[in-house]
Structure 1
């Protein structure tokens, strides 16, 4: 017997599977042979600027990844505003 929980779990699994199939380097915008561009918006000023710490931590993390050779030889370019 199908329950609401199992139906929801199946739907989420199908959506997750479909989302991962679309992420391919061959046709993904922002991906080249040498660079992967990732963009985000973070609140670096204003009343919720405390959350900007997350963005600065992400920039430091990607700088560390780039210092270690990147991902599959590609550098990560995080564009954060």
Structure 2
């Protein structure tokens, strides 16, 4: 038995993925919780991409400025 830190339930060790960096060799979250979080994150990323695409289509000049600003900031960060 192992405790899932996400759903706060005790589950069998077969419900957890392997993770060599932990003491017991298993992840902190059960497979079901990890799958739910992963799918939620994928959905959020997909929505953010759609918002950016519509912004790019509606405001091409502003979009170009925003991208240039982000690229400049990232270049400066990488130089440090």
Q: Same fold (TM over 0.5)?
A: no
Q: 1 or 2 for the larger relative contact order (CA 8 Å, sep ≥6)?
A: 1
Larger radius of gyration: 2
Give the TM-score normalised by structure 1.
Answer: 0.39
